[in-house]
């Protein structure tokens, strides 16, 4: 074999390796460009692959993907910070009543906690991302020069455009988002018409408006079909197929396969539980414990609920009024005032909880 | 013996000055005062050593009311040395030297330093705060030199609150609401603050007792971009038949009863001032509305050609005010949108359109987006809740319904 032949063979081998690698992994960062991420508001957060943080910007009617480049666990461990609202406010040179902590998300790669924050409570509030680690250090994640991408919400009201009568009062509040199966799913709620819109946008973002929006209907004991807004949702895998498990503003817990969410489809979700009056779902996480799968859900008035997530795929929808309201659940009574929830690691969750004194604490709790 | 002199004068900036000698004893004496130097004006603290001419270190606050106030350390004799090293400084090193803190609250000692940027300029160490200082709040600037820290506390005077914001309108404006009423729109005269809506809005029954959890409480309060309009949804779980909340505790409002929607004056606007006064809307409750709005039942009164008189559309029931402002359009004989202004009145049972240009003779149409809702959230193309057993609804799948009308010549 000549030297040239050897080189060609080596090149071919290298090409084959490269192509094989390309075929099995997506370069999620390819669409992210360095520069200032011009968020108009910072709402719901969700982590995707490679430390990419997705931020819902309701005011800007957009989703941002931010490369945190925070992919190494620096100081893992429990995160317990009293008065996180006062401390974040102090970082921003103001008092706790002048900020809002809108959401939190744990970076699964580094175990740092990211908070979306508004400095100010009026319409001109400054959006920021703040992060916290187990050492208690609180710092800003600067948006000034960060690799990022922005995509507008499908069919959302354009924040810069006024209609022909000069009015622009309609907005869509992003209530939750998640990265599932190479797509960002976004639950939105209009401040005018009452409807359920679940948007799905492929990631990496390709172009503006390449997402789809579907309406999700669900039954109430099989009789009255509604399309109320999704409050929060979580990805859930059943027999290797991704599902969305969604909690509605009107209390049912509904499941539907991701594959059903095609453009223009009317999706009828399966109601698997009703969580009763005054249940106001805020966040959900899924986890395994002692070989069983569970969902942990916090809501503003009933504390935290632990819901059995076994065999959800074969669960029969609630079709008539019975005393058994779908899957079984229990309320963790001592966990009151939990405003935000995310999974910290395999055995712990992180909560943002309000105390009687009015301050907010970040606390690590063992998954129940 | 060292002399300890402090003077306070009042001019428009803040400064603490220490004539810094070699006597650590004096420095400790200085620190023993815990530096409670809350100043409004110039506060000058002078410490003279027994030997030679002292060096003078002072902390100044400049651009106090600006977007990025500046805290400046001047008179530090090691500034030149630091200047050569500072290119390699990270934020932690800068903050170890000079940091500014919020000096209030129960976590005073554990609060992180404020965000900002550092530089050395004209032999001064400068911290430029990222955000404006908040009137009414105390701050603490700490300069930690090689010897002992210098601490300056100061308070930004609170500006006088201007109380002028009011609730301008609440829609629906009618005082008769269906039992399955879906939402209110609250319009304020100025931008409001977020995060306290549900503690400031109350629904009282006719005995004056608050109704428990009548509304859907969302973290993401449904404001418009200007922060002047809040959308307040009734709890849909107590509207939809068949759901546990509806079956167990019933609707938030009950047919035949009277209620008051009360908005506290304590609700702060975006400037932090409370509302000028409480607001109350009294209403009585009629039977639930479970019928879709039917455009065929609307009464159109067309004006004459050549006039600028409004086209009037009358509905047999009140419709959603905000959607009426957005979802009805007039199309001219060529199918183009007609420019003009809208007025909605008579408790949202009448919609009027005044064109910018005079009407011309011909066939116009009123285009109705079928997402238009009545007070109970029933759309033109879909009921709020669909009874899938009875299938009483014929679904309209189009996105608009067109109602033709003719403009006649005079």
Same domain assignment for residues B236 and B255:
yes
Contact yes or no for A225 and B245 at CB 8 A = no
Partner B, chain A 290-319, Cβ-Cβ below 8 Å: 300-301
Please give the angle made by the CA atoms of B168, A228 and A208, to the nearest 5 degrees: 85
Determine the residue among B220, B235, B250 to mutate to test chain A binding: the one whose Cβ has the most chain A Cβ atoms within 10 Å: B220
CB spacing of B245 vs A276 below 8 angstroms: yes
**For residue B194, what is the domain's CATH number?**
2.60.40.1220
- pLDDT beyond 90 at A257: no
- B129 and B241 in one domain? no
> Comparing A225 with A126, which gets the higher pLDDT?
A126
Domain stop point among B223, B255, B286: B286
The DSSP code for A9 is H
Domain boundary pick from B135, B155, B175? B155
**Residue B160, pLDDT score:** 82
Q: Is pLDDT of A264 > 70?
A: no
Rounded to an integer, what distance in angstroms lies between the CA atom of residue A360 and that of residue A352? Answer: 7
User: Are residues B99 and B179 both part of a single domain?
Assistant: no
Q: Which of B88, B65, B72, B67 is nearest to B121 (CA)?
A: B72
Show which of residues 268-307 on chain B sit within 8 Å of chain A, judged by CB atoms: 268-271
Number of structural domains (chain B) is: 3
Q: Under an 8 A CB cutoff, do B388 and A223 touch?
A: yes
Helix (H) or strand (E) holding B323, with range, is helix B321-327
- Proportion of chain A above pLDDT 70, given as a percent: 74
- B130 assigned to some structural domain: yes
- If asked whether residues B340 and B247 sit together in one domain, one would say no
Q: Is residue B373 part of a domain?
A: yes
Q: What is the pLDDT of residues A19-70, one digit of tens each?
A: 444 444 677 877 799 999 999 999 999 999 999 999 999 999 999 999 999 9
**Residue in B69, B138, B227, B244 to test binding to A, most A beta-carbons within 10 Å:** B244
Chain A interface includes B163 (CB < 8 A): no
CB atoms within 10 A of CB B29: 13
pLDDT at A12: 52
Q: Are residues B150 and B25 in the same domain?
A: yes
Of the three residues B248, B264, B286, the one that is the final residue of a domain is: B286
Give the CB-side neighbour count of residue B249, counting CA atoms within 13 A.
16
Are residues B7 and B151 both part of a single domain?
Answer: yes
Do B280 and B367 belong together in one domain? Answer: no
Span B53-86, pLDDT tens digits: 446 888 999 998 899 999 999 988 888 888 888 8
Residue B161 is assigned to a structural domain of this protein: no
- Band of pLDDT at residue B386, cut at 50, 70 and 90: low
ipTM: 0.85
Q: Search chain B and give the residue with CA nearest A41.
A: B225
Looking at the predicted structure, is the pLDDT value of residue A223 above 60?
A: no
Q: How far apart are CA A203 and CA A149, in angstroms?
A: 10
Q: Which residues does B289 contact at the CB level (< 8 Å), separation at least 6?
A: B178, B180, B317, B374, B375, B376, B378
Q: Are residues B282 and B300 in the same domain?
A: no
Residue bearing the bigger pLDDT, A336 or B405: B405
CA distance B231 to B229: 7
Q: Same domain for B342 and B268?
A: no
Q: Over range A173-201, report the average pLDDT.
A: 87
Chain A nearest CA to B268, separation (Å):
10
Q: Which residue has the tokens 């064109």?
A: B355
Tell me, yes or no, whether B160 lies in a domain: no
* Residue B242 domain-assigned (yes or no): yes
Distance CA A293, CA A309 (A): 5
| Residue B245 located in a structural domain | yes
CB A47 within 8 A of CB A108: yes
Chain Cα centroid distance, residue A342: 9
Residue A108: is the preceding peptide bond cis (ω within 30°)?
no
Closest in A123, A168, A325 to B191, CB measured: A123
* Res A265: pLDDT: 66
Q: Which two tokens stand for residue B232?
A: 């307040």
- Please state whether beta strands B279-286 and B176-178 pair in parallel, antiparallel, or not at all (unpaired): parallel
B136 shares its domain with B176 = no
Q: Which residues pair with A47 in a beta bridge?
A: A53
- The neighbour count for residue B41, using CB atoms within 10 Å, is 13
**CA of A291, closest CA in chain B: separation in Å?**
31
B110 part of contact set with chain A, CB < 8 Å: yes
How far is the alpha carbon of B194 from chain A, nearest alpha carbon, in Å? 5
Are residue B151 and residue B260 in the same domain, yes or no?
no
pLDDT for the residue numbered A76: 72
> Nearest-CA neighbor of B176 among B259, B286, B257, B289?
B286
Kindly state the DSSP code that residue A310 receives in the 8-state scheme.
T
Tell me which residue in A125, A175, A276 faces B244 most closely, judged by beta carbons: A276
What residues make up the domain containing B381?
Answer: 295-407
Give me the torsion for CA of A331, A333, A335, A339, rounded to 10°. 60
Q: How far is CA A143 from the centre of its chain?
A: 19
Query: Is residue B241 situated within a structural domain?
Result: yes
How long, in residues, is chain B? 410
**Chain B interface includes A354 (CB < 8 A):** no
CA distance A144 to B110: 27
pLDDT above 50: residue B2: no
Range A178-197 average pLDDT: 86
Helix (H, G, I), strand (E, B) or coil at B321: helix
pLDDT digits (tens, 9 = 90+) for A227-247: 667 888 998 888 888 888 888
Give the pLDDT confidence of B131-165 residue by residue, as tens digits: 999 999 999 999 997 577 898 888 888 888 889 99
* Integer Cα distance of B66 and B267 in angstroms: 27
- Percent of chain A exceeding pLDDT 90 equals 41
Contact pairs from chain A to chain B, CB under 8 Å: 216
Residue B48 contacts A, CB cutoff 8 Å: no
On the question of pLDDT at A139 being above 80, the answer is: yes
A261 torsion bin: left (phi>0), alpha (psi -120 to 50), beta (else): beta
| Residue of B107, B155, B197, B369 best to disrupt the A interface, most CBs of A under 10 A | B107
For residue B162, is it within any domain?
no
Please indicate, yes or no, whether residues B136 and B234 belong to a single structural domain of this protein: no
Q: How many whole angstroms separate alpha carbon B364 and alpha carbon B26? A: 90
Query: Within 13 Å of residue A51, how many CA atoms lie on the same side as its CB?
Result: 15
């Amino acid at each position: 074999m000549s030297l040239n032949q050897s080189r060609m063979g080596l090149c071919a081998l290298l090409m084959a390796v490269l192509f094989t690698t390309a075929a099995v992994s997506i370069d999620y960062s390819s669409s992210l460009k360095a520069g200032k991420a011009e968020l108009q508001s910072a709402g719901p957060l969700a982590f995707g692959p490679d430390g990419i943080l997705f931020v819902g910007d309701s005011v800007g009617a957009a989703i941002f993907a931010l490369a945190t480049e925070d992919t190494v666990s620096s100081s893992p461990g429990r995160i317990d910070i009293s008065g996180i609202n006062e401390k974040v406010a102090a970082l921003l040179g103001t008092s706790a009543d002048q900020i809002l902590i809108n959401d939190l998300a744990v970076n699964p790669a580094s175990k740092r906690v990211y908070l979306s924050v508004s400095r100010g409570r009026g319409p001109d509030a400054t959006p920021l991302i703040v992060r916290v680690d187990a050492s208690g250090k609180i710092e800003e994640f600067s948006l000034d020069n960060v690799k990022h991408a922005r995509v507008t919400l499908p069919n959302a009201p354009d924040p810069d455009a006024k209609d022909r009568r000069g009015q622009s009062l309609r907005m869509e509040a992003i209530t939750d988002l998640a990265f599932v199966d190479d797509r960002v799913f976004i639950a939105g709620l209009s401040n005018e018409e009452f409807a359920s819109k679940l948007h799905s946008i492929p990631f990496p973002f390709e172009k503006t408006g390449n997402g789809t929006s579907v309406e999700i209907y669900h039954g109430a004991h099989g009789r009255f079909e509604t399309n109320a807004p999704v409050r929060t949702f979580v990805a859930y895998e059943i027999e290797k197929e991704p599902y969305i498990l969604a909690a509605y503003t009107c209390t049912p817990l509904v499941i539907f396969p991701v594959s059903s969410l095609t453009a223009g489809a009317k999706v009828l979700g399966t109601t698997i539980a009703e969580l009763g009056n005054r249940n106001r779902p805020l966040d959900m996480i899924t986890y395994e414990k002692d070989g069983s799968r569970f969902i942990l859900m916090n809501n503003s008035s009933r504390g935290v609920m632990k819901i059995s997530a076994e065999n959800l795929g074969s669960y029969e929808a609630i079709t008539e009024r019975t005393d058994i309201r779908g899957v079984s659940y229990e309320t963790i009574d001592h966990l009151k005032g939990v405003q935000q929830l995310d999974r910290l690691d395999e055995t712990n969750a992180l909560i943002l909880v309000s105390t009687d004194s009015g301050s907010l604490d970040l606390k690590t709790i063992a998954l129940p | 013996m060292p002399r300890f002199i402090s003077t306070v004068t009042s001019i428009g900036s803040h400064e603490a000055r220490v004539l810094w000698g070699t006597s650590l004893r004096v420095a400790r004496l200085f620190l023993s005062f815990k530096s409670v130097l809350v100043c409004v004006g110039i506060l000058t603290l002078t410490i003279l050593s027994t030997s030679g001419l002292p060096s003078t270190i002072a902390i100044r606050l400049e651009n106090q009311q600006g977007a990025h106030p500046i805290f400046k350390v001047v008179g530090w004799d090691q500034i030149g040395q630091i200047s050569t090293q500072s290119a390699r400084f990270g934020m932690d090193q800068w903050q170890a030297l000079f940091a500014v803190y919020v000096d209030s609250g129960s976590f005073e000692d554990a609060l992180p330093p404020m965000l900002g940027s550092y530089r050395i300029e004209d032999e001064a160490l400068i911290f430029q705060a990222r955000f404006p200082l908040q009137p009414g709040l105390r701050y603490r600037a700490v300069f930690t030199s090689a010897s002992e820290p210098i601490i300056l506390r100061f308070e930004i005077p609170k500006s006088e609150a201007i109380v002028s914001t009011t609730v301008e309108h609440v829609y629906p404006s009618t005082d008769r609401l269906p039992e399955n009423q879906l939402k209110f729109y609250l319009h304020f005269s100025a931008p409001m603050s977020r995060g306290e809506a549900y503690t400031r809005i109350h629904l009282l029954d006719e005995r004056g007792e608050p109704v428990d959890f009548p509304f859907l409480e969302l973290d993401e309060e449904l404001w418009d971009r200007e922060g002047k309009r809040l959308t307040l949804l009734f709890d849909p779980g107590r509207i939809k038949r068949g759901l546990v909340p509806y079956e167990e505790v019933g609707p938030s409002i009950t047919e035949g009863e009277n209620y008051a929607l009360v908005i506290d004056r304590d609700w702060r606007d975006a400037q932090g001032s409370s509302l000028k006064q409480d607001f109350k809307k009294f209403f009585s409750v009629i039977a639930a509305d479970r019928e879709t709005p039917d455009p065929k039942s609307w009464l159109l009164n067309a004006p004459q050609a050549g006039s600028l008189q409004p086209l009037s559309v009358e509905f047999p029931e009140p419709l959603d005010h905000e959607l009426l402002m957005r979802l009805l359009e007039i199309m001219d004989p060529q199918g183009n949108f007609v420019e003009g202004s809208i007025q909605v009145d008579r408790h949202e049972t009448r919609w009027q359109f005044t064109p910018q240009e005079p009407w011309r003779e011909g066939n116009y149409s009123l285009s109705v987006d079928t997402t238009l809702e009545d007070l109970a959230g029933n759309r033109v193309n879909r009921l709020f809740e669909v009874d899938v057993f009875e299938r009483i609804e014929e679904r309209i799948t189009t996105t608009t319904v067109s109602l033709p009308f003719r403009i006649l010549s005079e």
